[in-house]
């Protein structure tokens, strides 16, 4: 026959082992989830670093292009200024030459006074008008170059913004796997142990079920029974008489 105490202990041990297994599985799952989250965060950090590196490289190249274009435009402005200065100087030279020539002609002809002054004024006016046109054209070109610089700057800014680092969403937080409830586990183990104990307590005793019963009636009648079969009797005047057939007075 199985010992009820051992059976109860076995049920308790089984419950405890189940609890420990569930708890270990929950810890392993949580560790795995945390590891996955750490890997995703590391990958996100790498992506951010890569975007920042690309952004800085692109911004540096864009700035270099803007500086180069600025330099080219400034060079053209400087060249335009030199050309304009040469043109103005040429007009001055031509004006002085015309004045000298007109004065010589007037002196040969004996022209004096207001007529000579008018000739000089006309030459001076023509000279100033030509110089004014040169300066006006130079200003127009300067305005065009200024617009070109603005376009170059805008293109550079657009190029930089095209590689502006984009926000990378954060990975989902690791899900926490709850382990078994100790209180509920204790109640479950106690319930199982109680059920095992009650099953043993309610089971019939096999020793008591196989023990032959001797009724008082049989003893009064002098019968000898064994296992429900009469083995003999004492007669009314004494003496033992065995028999194998059940007597008629036995119910």
- Between 230 and 78, residue with greater pLDDT: 78
Pair of tokens at residue 112: 């004096």
The domain limits of the chain are 4-188, 212-251
Backbone phi and psi for residue 229, each to the nearest 5 degrees, phi listed first = -120, 125
Q: What is the C-alpha separation between 89 and 82, in angstroms, rounded?
A: 10
Q: pTM for the full model? A: 0.51
- Which pLDDT tens digit goes with each residue over 137-179? 999 999 999 999 999 999 999 988 888 888 888 888 888 777 6
- Which pLDDT tens digit goes with each residue over 20-39? 777 788 888 889 888 999 99
End-to-end CA distance of the chain: 35
Q: Which of 50, 32, 79 is nearest to 176 (CA)?
A: 32
- Report pLDDT for 77: 92
Is residue 136 within 8 Å of 143, Cβ to Cβ? no
Residue 246 is inside which H or E element, if any? none
- Report pLDDT for 189: 66
Q: Which of 92, 100, 101 is nearest to 124 (CA)?
A: 92
| 193 confidence band (pLDDT: 50, 70, 90) | low
Rg of the Cα trace of the chain? 62
Tell me: pLDDT of 66 over 90: yes
Mean per-residue pLDDT, 85-97 = 88
Q: Strand runs (DSSP E) across the chain, as ranges? A: 223-226, 229-234, 240-242
Length of the chain: 251
């Amino acid at each position: 026959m199985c010992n009820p105490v051992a059976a109860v202990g076995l049920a308790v041990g089984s419950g405890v082992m189940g609890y420990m297994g569930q708890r270990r599985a929950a810890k392993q799952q949580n560790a795995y989830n945390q590891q996955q989250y750490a890997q995703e965060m590391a990958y996100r950090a790498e992506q951010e670093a890569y975007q920042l590196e690309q952004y800085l490289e692109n911004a540096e190249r864009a700035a270099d292009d803007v500086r180069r274009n600025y330099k080219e435009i400034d060079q053209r402005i400087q060249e335009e200024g030199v050309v304009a200065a040469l043109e103005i100087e040429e007009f001055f030279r031509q004006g002085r030459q015309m004045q000298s020539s007109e004065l010589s002609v007037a002196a040969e002809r004996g022209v004096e006074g207001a007529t000579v002054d008018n000739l000089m004024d006309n030459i001076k006016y023509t000279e100033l008008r030509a110089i004014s046109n040169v300066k006006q054209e130079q200003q127009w070109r300067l305005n065009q170059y200024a617009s070109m610089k603005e376009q170059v700057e805008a293109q550079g800014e657009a190029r930089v913004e095209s590689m502006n680092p984009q926000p990378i969403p954060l990975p989902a937080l690791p899900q926490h796997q709850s382990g078994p409830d100790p209180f509920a586990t204790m109640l479950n183990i106690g319930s199982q142990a109680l059920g095992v104990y009650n099953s043993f307590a309610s089971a019939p005793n096999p020793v008591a079920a196989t023990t032959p019963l001797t009724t008082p009636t049989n003893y009064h009648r002098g019968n000898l029974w064994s296992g429900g079969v009469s083995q003999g009797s004492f007669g009314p005047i004494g003496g033992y008489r065995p028999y194998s057939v059940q007597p008629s007075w036995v119910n």
